[in-house]
Amino acid sequence: MPSAPTLYPLIPLRDFVVFPAATMPLFIARAYSIEALARATRDGRALFLVAQRLGSLEAPAEHDLYAVGTVARVVEQAPISNSTRVVVSGTRRARLVRVIDDSCCLEAEVEYFNDPPSDPDMLEKIRQKQVEASSRMGVQTSAPTPHPDADMRVAAMQRILEGNSGSVPETDIMRLARLKKLFEEFARAGNPD
């Protein structure tokens, strides 16, 4: 049973989804989305992030949005040229009840799903059980608990390695290039074909 409706500033996402417990960078350029971000920041509120059905639409209507999205908090933001770079952290999954267009920005009335909260202790117990099960099957693993910003860092690494580094310092690009080379060497060592 969903919760009572709650109102959040809405940012439609083009060809992108933010999941609960994921921390991701976004680049926001549409005026009404920048205003939604400003409203959330000014009022100390979270945002509702939902994917558009067609990424090519500049001004999607309610029927152009998927019915399920993620409530997310703003971790950091920085204006860059004609857009704003924002890092968000998904908190909960929610269903879009209706969209309110107040001419400045979009607001979403949402209902939370009754998903269990993301309890770090519970997640660690699940990870430990997976490691134990892998070890019983003869698979050695030493995967540490991921850093809370791991999703954001991986996305930044992918952009850098694809040549779209944006405002990343040159020293970080050099470090990531060395890291990429190291991963390639590990892959070759593991696959002696």
Q: Higher pLDDT residue, 105 or 132?
A: 105
| CATH 2.30.130.40 location in the chain | 6-112
H/E stretch holding 129: helix 120-136
Architecture of domain 6-112: Roll (2.30)
Of the two residues 148 and 24, the one the predictor is more confident about is 24
DSSP class of residue 170 equals H
**How far apart (Å, rounded) are the C-alpha atoms in residues 163 and 176?**
11
Q: Which pLDDT belongs to residue 102? A: 86
Q: Encoding tokens for residue 184?
A: 């390639």
- Report yes or no on whether pTM surpasses 0.85: no
Residue 46 has pLDDT above 50, yes or no: yes
Q: Work out the pLDDT band at 193, boundaries 50, 70, 90.
A: very low
| Residue whose C-alpha is closest to residue 148's, from 90, 85, 65 | 90
Q: Does 35 score more than 90 pLDDT?
A: yes
How high is the mean pLDDT of the chain? 78
Confidence (pLDDT) at 20: 85
CB 50 within 8 A of CB 65: yes
Nearest to 89 by CA among 121, 55, 49: 49
